[in-house]
Every structure is written in C-alpha cells, then in structure tokens.
C-alpha cells in the first residue's frame, strides 16, 4: 500500500536475512525502555540468536503474531500482536523500528496493517498498547492509526534516569475503519 508520498509498507514473516536489522533494534540501548519492561543491558548477538531460536521453538505463545515491517523489500522493524485473551477477544500490539524509518509514516502504516490483521484475520474485538509518555512521535502515530488514550499509569517506568508515565491506548473493532469501507 502506498499513500501519497509515504513509502510502501507491508508486514511479512521473518527470514534469516532480517536478523541483522532485528538484532540492531533489539540491542539499541537508546530506545530500550520504549521496547522493554526489563532493565537495560547489553545484548550480545549469541543471546539474541538464542532468543530467536527459543521463539521459533515455541517459547512464544502460538497465538502471537510476529511480523517484520518491510519497506520496498527491506526490513525496517518488527510489529506483533501478543498477550491474546481468546475469551474476551483482545491482544496487545507492539512495534519497533530502526531510527531511520521513524517519523516517515512507516510506523503508522505498519500499525494500521497490524490492526487490520487483528480485527479481520484474528477476529479480535480490542487491541491495546502501552507507550512511554515522552515518546510523542509514537503517541501521535498510534492516534493516527486509530488508537485512543484510555488512561495513564503515573510514574510507572524508570526511563533514562527518571520516572515516566505510561500511556494506555486502545482501538475497538467498532472504531476501526476498514480500508474496504
């Protein structure tokens, strides 16, 4: 899908050729807190590859939907749905991009595609996410993708030397504007 001036963004399965980009994102200490609840620490390539192997062997939930964010045939990040509640029909969304893909509409389009997958293909009723309050670019992007702020966990995360709020956002299927409508 190409939207006037925006790069063509798609979601696809991971290949071995994507591992360098995905490792670069996973090991990036500058954006660690935006992607992890765990304490920042250096990530070696062998530890990263072991984590990928464990996920491939079923450590991640079989319900999880993990994609590579692709721009014109090149991996620029990852997007996933995880933490599925099959009874209430909801899941959490997450996205990570290389720095050069941020601020160009790539994340917004990738999130729209992930939301479409969740509602149309996985029959979800609600998709939610969490973001650090100071990550204004991500919050704007999520709002453009249809997410609404539901609340805030005050001083919930320790981020680069200070406590920050976590913003809770979600989109309901009833709020979703299908590209077919």
The full set of domain ranges for the chain reads: 9-126
Say how far residue 106 (Cα) sits from the centre of its chain.
Answer: 12
- Where does 9-126 sit in CATH, by number? 3.40.630.30
In the three-class reduction of DSSP (H, G, I as helix; E, B as strand; rest coil), residue 100 is classed as helix
Q: Whole-model pTM?
A: 0.89
Indicate the angle between helix axes 136-144 and 106-116, nearest 10 degrees. Answer: 50
- Reported as a single tens digit per residue, the pLDDT across 126-174 is 999 999 999 999 999 999 999 999 999 999 999 989 999 999 999 999 9
- Reported as a single tens digit per residue, the pLDDT across 80-121 is 999 999 999 999 999 999 999 999 999 999 999 999 999 999
CB 101 within 8 A of CB 110: no
Long-range contacts (CB closer than 8 Å, 24 or more residues apart) made by 155-158 = 157/33, 157/37, 157/132, 158/33
């Amino acid at each position: 899908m190409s939207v006037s001036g925006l790069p063509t963004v798609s979601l696809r399965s991971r290949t071995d050729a994507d591992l360098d980009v995905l490792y670069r994102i996973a090991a990036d200490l500058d954006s660690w807190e935006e992607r992890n609840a765990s304490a920042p620490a250096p990530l070696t390539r062998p530890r990263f590859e072991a984590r990928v192997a464990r996920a491939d062997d079923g450590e991640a939930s079989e319900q999880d939907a993990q994609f590579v964010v692709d721009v014109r045939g090149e991996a620029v990040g990852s997007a996933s749905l995880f933490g599925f509640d099959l009874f209430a029909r909801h899941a959490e969304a997450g996205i990570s991009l290389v720095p050069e893909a941020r601020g160009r509409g790539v994340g917004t389009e990738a999130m729209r595609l992930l939301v479409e997958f969740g509602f149309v293909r996985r029959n979800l009723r609600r998709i939610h996410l969490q973001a650090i309050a100071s990550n204004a670019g991500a919050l704007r992007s999520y709002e453009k993708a249809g997410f609404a702020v539901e609340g805030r966990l005050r001083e919930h995360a320790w981020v680069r030397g200070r406590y920050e709020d976590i913003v809770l956002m979600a989109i309901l299927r009833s709020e979703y504007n299908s590209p077919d409508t």
